[in-house]
Amino acid sequence: MPASEGFKNRALEELIEWLRIPSVSSLPEHKADVERAGEYVRAALDKAGMTRTELIRRGQGHPMVYAEWLGAPGKPTVLFYGHYDVQPTDPLDEWKSPPFEPEIRGNDIFARGTSDDKGQTWILVKAVQWMIERDGRLPVNVKFILEGEEEAGGEAITAYVGEKPARLAADVVVICDTEMFAPEMPTICTGLRGIVYGEIHVEGPRQDLHSGVYGGAAPNPLMAIAEILTALKDRDGRILVPGFYDRVVKPSADEQAAWATLPFNEAEYLEKEVGSTSLTGEPGFSVFERTWSRPTFEVHGIKGGFTGEGAKTVIPARAVAKVSMRLVADQDPDEAVGQAATAIEAACPKGVKAKFVLLHDAGPSLVDTSNRFVQASASAMEEVFGRKTVYMRSGGSIPIVGTFLENMGIPSVLMGFGLPDDNIHSPNEKFHLPNFFRGIDAVARFLEKLG
């Protein structure tokens, strides 16, 4: 039986209150807000009928939220993972309604964190609450581990799962933090890319110099950044870091066959999702391959010199570029860091010093689709959406997926309800309300099938 209209509407009202808390994990000024958002979901899990809930801390970061209901001995244990932190909101003036004042327009709710990942995490909380209210119990054992710093690198949970805590023991991890291939197409995500995120620091002259007096003789760290970046990736999008592609594994024939059945129109993707005049990337690879099964090198920001209004003639003393590499199976983050650091030093022009400073990293992950958990999820979503479940990969990263598998041997099921046009990490982030409501029913149905 699906959850009642009344239950779903109350779930939405409570989600709206949660979305009002600006839990931006990467900005120190929001530390207390992140904490408040963690406490809000802990209290909600308590109210949902979980028998034990608490905040767990590791180091100086944001707390994790743990909850459990273990009243089904002999049945499987499902560990739900989600994150209650969100990305920063800039550029603020591009939002049609303020990011922390949720607004429903048509079938969508707009606010930061609606799709990534408070709205999707709320599906998990409410599915469990609905079943406990209806049946007085759950058909399987359920645990929750929610983190408050996924968008900032996930240090605390990585350390915690590394300790292999007995409390997190489970048969499967279930995550709603990915997207569906298209509206009305229930989707299981079968692979995520890993990431190495860091900064290229370049030091040149002892202090800023007059660019007229010294230009022509003094090295320029910003030019050095440009030279280094273009030495790392060519104009076709091929990464030039020696050894970088050595471990890259091709998707299997089965997987490629599954991708070939997905409806995809490149012109529409260019126009509606990317919004530029042309796509780029490695020749000879499809868009699915380029975004799901090939590694990348991207630059996110360059800092240095004068960036204010008007002109200032200066040769800056230093410059920094924020960069990341997305990794695919079987690349190893430590190895990629070493390769990048070596390539950066090798590409450094004379007169300046360049070094790579690692901020965070995570390995790629692939999901084995043959287990009963993936099968149960696919058929639960099929029943609720009335359409066949499709399998795709995603180019994004959820660092803890690999950590759960490698450290604790627990596989993940990625049953996400976001949509490609949800604007995650972007202005006007939204969540499609029919997916929120169906998500609650699909997760509940999934638990029933496992019980």
Is residue 117 close enough to count as binding ligand BES by CB under 6 A? yes
Cα–Cα distance between 398 and 363 in angstroms, integer? 9
Stated as kind and residue range, the H or E segment containing 378 is: helix 372-385
Is residue 25 close enough to count as binding ligand BES by CB under 6 A? no
Is residue 429 close enough to count as binding ligand BES by CB under 6 A? no
Give whichever of 316 and 418 is closer to Mn ion, judged by the CB atom.
418
The DSSP line for 392-442 is E--SS--THHHHHHHHH---EEE---B-TTS-TTSTT-EEEHHHHHHHHHH
Is residue 68 close enough to count as binding Mn ion by CB under 5 A? no
CB of 314 to ligand BES, least distance (A): 33
Which of ligand BES, Mn ion, none binds 108 (CB below 5-8 Å, type-dependent)?
A: none
Residues 152-191 that bind ligand BES (CB under 6 A): 153, 177-179
- Identify which range of 106-114, 170-178, 302-310, 400-408 contacts Mn ion by CB under 5 A: 170-178
Q: Are 444 and 3 in contact (CB under 8 A)?
A: yes
| Structure token digits, residue 220 | 């320029």
Is residue 428 close enough to count as binding ligand BES by CB under 6 A? no
CB of 24 to Mn ion, least distance (A): 12
Cα–Cα distance between 344 and 229 in angstroms, integer? 8
Q: Which of 204, 304, 399, 402 binds ligand BES (CB under 6 A)?
A: 399
Sign for the pseudo-dihedral over CA of 135, 136, 138, 144:
positive
Q: Which of 114, 190, 291, 397 binds ligand BES (CB under 6 A)?
A: 397
Q: Please report, for residues 12, 198, 239, 345, 448, the alpha-carbon distance to residue 228 in angstroms, rounded to integers and kept in the order given.
A: 49, 14, 12, 9, 54
- Identify which range of 67-75, 244-252, 373-381, 391-399 contacts ligand BES by CB under 6 A: 391-399
The closest alpha carbon to 427, from 50, 93, 182, 22, belongs to: 93
The DSSP line for 184-228 is TB-EEE-EE-EEEEEEEEEE-SSS-EETTTSTTTS--HHHHHHHH
Q: Are 126 and 11 in contact (CB under 8 A)?
A: yes
Q: Which amino acid is at 413?
A: V
Is residue 85 close enough to count as binding ligand BES by CB under 6 A? no
Which of ligand BES, Mn ion, none binds 394 (CB below 5-8 Å, type-dependent)?
A: ligand BES
The closest alpha carbon to 414, from 178, 251, 186, belongs to: 178
Which of ligand BES, Mn ion, none binds 441 (CB below 5-8 Å, type-dependent)?
A: none
250: DSSP letter: P
Which of Mn ion, ligand BES, none binds 20 (CB below 5-8 Å, type-dependent)?
A: none
Residues 112-131 that bind Mn ion (CB under 5 A): 116-117
Q: Which of 14, 33, 108, 116 binds ligand BES (CB under 6 A)?
A: 116
Cα–Cα distance between 418 and 431 in angstroms, integer? 7
Size of the site for Mn ion (CB under 5 A): 3
Q: Are 304 and 171 in contact (CB under 8 A)?
A: no
Residues 357-376 that bind ligand BES (CB under 6 A): 360, 362
Q: Are 205 and 220 in contact (CB under 8 A)?
A: no
Which of Mn ion, ligand BES, none binds 153 (CB below 5-8 Å, type-dependent)?
A: ligand BES
Is residue 150 close enough to count as binding ligand BES by CB under 6 A? yes
Sign for the pseudo-dihedral over CA of 431, 435, 437, 442:
negative
Site string for ligand BES, 315-354 (x = CB under 6 A): ----------------------------------------
CB of 195 to ligand BES, least distance (A): 5
Is residue 422 close enough to count as binding Mn ion by CB under 5 A? no
Q: Which of 33, 108, 149, 151 binds ligand BES (CB under 6 A)?
A: 151
Residues 186-245 that bind ligand BES (CB under 6 A): 195
Q: Are 230 and 236 in contact (CB under 8 A)?
A: no
Give whichever of 319 and 328 is closer to ligand BES, judged by the CB atom.
328
Q: Which amino acid is at 93?
A: D
Give whichever of 144 and 244 is closer to Mn ion, judged by the CB atom.
144
Which of ligand BES, Mn ion, none binds 49 (CB below 5-8 Å, type-dependent)?
A: none
CB of 23 to ligand BES, least distance (A): 13
379 Cβ contact list (under 8 Å, min separation 6): 389, 449
CB of 201 to ligand BES, least distance (A): 20
Interface positions with Mn ion (CB under 5 A): 116-117, 177
Interface positions with ligand BES (CB under 6 A): 116-117, 150-151, 153, 177-179, 195, 360, 362, 394, 396-399
